[in-house]
Amino acid sequence: MTRALLLALALLAGCATEGNGRVVQLDDATAGALLVPGRTTQAQVRAALGEGTVVRFESGRETWHYVHRSGMAKGWDAVPYINLIAARVAGDEKELVVLFDASGVVMRWSLQVNPATRRKG
């Protein structure tokens, strides 16, 4: 019984979400209204979505990356016995990438939803 209780507690502790919680609420329509190419500025994106991971290019352009993941927390797949369950639990991932021109205005954006893939074993 003690082992079963410890396993249950470990599994509950292993469920997690990570990343930007504001991205999970985005869909194409909402993103399209928020991220208008040629009009939306970096300051407006920062106010709406917070800080993203920034990649800068020599041309002056930047991409801002936002990711949200849900499911089993990373690292649990290395724990004996728990990895048997963790290997079968995968979460959804949503990723938003925004490209800004050198003046800090949105050029284009991409929103991808990668549904969970369940492994068979």
The CATH code that applies to domain 15-73+90-114 is 3.30.1450
User: pLDDT tens, 68-95?
Assistant: 877 655 566 567 766 666 555 556 788 9
Average confidence score pLDDT of the chain: 78
In eight-state DSSP terms, residue 98 is E
Domain ranges, ordered by start, for the chain: 15-73+90-114
Average pLDDT on 28-49 reads: 95
pLDDT value of residue 41: 97
Alpha-carbon distance of 118 to 85, in angstroms, equals 11
Percent of the chain with pLDDT over 70: 61
In angstroms, what CA-CA distances link 7 with 2, 89, 118?
9, 15, 21
Contact between residue 50 and residue 68 where contact means Cβ atoms under 8 Å apart: no
User: pLDDT tens, 6-30?
Assistant: 455 444 444 444 556 678 788 899 9
Alpha-carbon distance of 78 to 67, in angstroms, equals 23
In angstroms, what CA-CA distances link 49 with 11, 22, 45?
30, 6, 6
Q: pTM of the entire structure?
A: 0.67
pLDDT score of 3 more than 80 = no
Residue appearing with tokens 């205005």? 105
